[in-house]
A and B are shown apart, each in its own frame.
Chain A
Amino acid sequence: MKKLIIAFYIFLVPSFLNAAPTVEVLHWWTSGGEAKALQVLKDDFAKQGGIWKDMPVAGGGGDAAMQTLKARIVANDAPAAAQIKGPTIQEYDEEGVVAPYNVNAVAKAEKWDKLLSKQVAGHMKCDDGKSYCAAPVNIHRIDWFWANKKVLDSNGIKMPTSWADFNSAADKLQAKGIIPLAHGSQPWQDATVFEAVALGIGGNKFYKKAFVDLDPKTLGGSTMVKVFDQMRKLKNYTDAGSPGRDWNVATGMVMEGKAAFQIMGDWAKGEFAAAGMEPGKDYLCSPTPSNNGYLYNVDSFIFYKNAGKDKVEGQKLLASLIMGKNFQKVFNIYKGSIPARLDVSMDDFDICAKKSNADLNTASKKGGLMPSFAHGMALRGAQKGAIQDVVTDHFNTDMSSQEAAKKVAAAVKASL
């Protein structure tokens, strides 16, 4: 009997006492730098008296996490927050699993509208842009060239400022037996390179019309053909082992000097840093050639419909901490990205991050700030996937550029 009573207390009493803010957070930041970056948030949350229930789902760049998340939502047991970004936020809202926007009150009180750029804020809002339902943690830049400084110096090559520039540098390197472009031909990496090329060759207006507005004429038009022509050139600058290679292995090729360049988002810095290499000294970073363009990927946490005071308070506290200056700074130094919040000092960041921040402002003024389609910021899953399939098939077969452009337009149409 005594044991029964004890058991009763163990199971039931805490649920009465447990009014502390509680959040259950689903994420896939489980690798070294990312886990360290997230620990900052966990510590902040605990310091404020909150209870953090971690729900890491490792593997597959979030594929496994998506399965878990959908199962939980269908079972009417959504976690408090999940690592969801881009138009997927609004897609979930349309399914009715995000309202009543528990964190909107916090956003209004802390004036997020002033702390975030308009474009970033737009991604965080549900309910036709009326209420905040997500909080941004960072801004990654996608359109970067990473290069081995020694290799460039010894061959008399500077960071390219146009795609023609890059092509001639690449020809020179190839003649000397150096792989010009380190690349892992996985669908998402092909799409990453493709969008950088599209922004550079097609220009800002073309990019927006094609990958944000999905204009059929632009998708199948002559500019798109030119973009695919450049992709074919890039394919010839990669090595035979490229298909299926992981991105960090490709980064390793640049570090070892086997390859000269890589086109990848700024998380690549983490690999260089882990090898003890310094930006500007051992490796170089510069944006891929474009007319003041900037492709961004904003990671964020969406806040699902949750009931119960402790959970709602937990969501509010988490939202406020994510937007806190301390977290935005420390997290992004670990992650390689820059803060989403505008008023964080960039002093402690490296030169690549500083450049990213400066370019972001210029691009924003000159109309070159574009959401990355390859990383799910510009389009919903179905359309993004449709374009990505064609891009990766073109890159890995001898499909002509004309046919590829035609297929892009057709695939997008079929996916709508």
Chain B
Amino acid sequence: MYWVKKNLPKIVISPSFALLAWFVYGFILWTAYISFTKSKILPKYDLWGVGQYFRLWSMDRWHTSVSNLFIYTVLFLTLCIVIGVILAILLDQKIRGEGVLRTIYLYPMALSFIVTGTAWKWIMNPTMGIEKFFIDIGFVNFTFDWLVTSGMSIYCVVIAGVWQSSGFIMAIFLAGLRSIDDEIIKAAKIDGAGIFSIYTKIVLPMMRPVFMSAIVILVHLSIKSYDLIIALTAGGPGTSSDMPAIFMTQYAFNRSEVALASSSAMMMFLTVTAIVIPYLYSELKREDGKE
């Protein structure tokens, strides 16, 4: 009885731990294994080697996907944080109607990426969206055709993604700002600091953990991004707004290239690991050091 009591927490979490180990880490290993085979339409288990990785990196389409992912992640991350922080600081000025404004900014997050994608597809479509609107009201030479232009459509994805997520980032930062002690700000004011330097020199540096959560959330959102692109451009025009997640699904399920798709999945996995783990590690270490 004592043993049970002592080990109760472990017993309680062990089923979920086992399921997690199998369905997440087990399948990551399985995917890794498949990526070293010659599997075509269905998985096969005869090892072949690293040939799929060579094939993958020789494909134009994969290079497009990777560079799009890079463009998207960098812009999405930067813009979301910049806009999120600015909105949060503005809302933090104890203004009237803050509750209403906060809800308005946060609302896009309540939509699914499919809805966002479809709505922005219509807004940015040159024959019925913004471009047509401006032409109709008299600006005959107005053009906004990024959505249908190869090489520019990825920026449309950024616009839609930022619109959806920056409000959420604002909410995170607003919570962070509220948790900062008023006394510190008052003390800084007495010392003669301006509002700008209070924020840049005191408040924002204190919010390092908030930046960390925001960055982790945004990076994983952007690497996973699939539904937004499917709804907005479906990878087009051509394959110009392709992303690794779309590449992977198409090769696995439409093109009988299960092994190649697995190798692309492994590349995505390694990318996430390479970016997120060192960052988490350094941030967590810093916190340990403080205490």
Contacts and interface: CB of A to CB of B under 8 A. Distances in A.
Contact of B42 (A63, A97, A243): A97
A387 B121 CA distance: 27
B255 interface: yes
Contacts of B236: 185-187, 243-244, 392, 396
A70 B253 contact: yes
Contacts of B273: none
B257 A381 contact: yes
A380 B61 contact: no
Nearest to B121: A244
Interface residues of B, number: 37
Contact of A241 (B44, B127, B234, B239): B127
Contacts, number: 103
A319 to B, nearest CB: 22
A393 B41 contact: no
Nearest to A407: B60
A241 B42 contact: no
Contacts of B128: 241
Given A63-B254, A381-B257, A414-B59, A240 B42 contact: no
A111 to B, nearest CB: 31
Consensus secondary structure, chain A interface: helix
A393 B59 CA distance: 14
Contacts of B239: 187, 389, 392-393
Nearest to A383: B255
Consensus secondary structure, chain B interface: loop
A187 B58 CA distance: 21
Given A187-B238, A392-B239, A385 B250 contact: yes
Contacts of B234: 186, 244
A384 B257 CA distance: 12
A58 interface: no
Contact count band on A? 35 or more
Contacts of A73: 42
A243 B59 CA distance: 23
A278 interface: no
B189 interface: no
Contacts of A411: 60
B42 A393 contact: no
B55 A414 contact: yes
Interface in B90-112: none
A392 B250 CA distance: 15
B42 A382 contact: no
A320 interface: no
Contacts of A239: 127
Contacts of B238: 185, 187, 190, 389, 392-397
A73 B60 CA distance: 32
Interface stretch (A87-95, A308-316, A349-357): A87-95
Given A185-B236, A241-B127, A385-B251, 4 more contacts: A74-B43, A95-B41, A395-B238, A396-B240
4 shortest interchain CB distances as A-B pairs: A241-B127, A396-B237, A396-B238, A243-B237
Interface of B: 40-44, 55, 58-61, 121, 125-128, 145, 147-148, 150-151, 153, 233-240, 249-251, 253-257
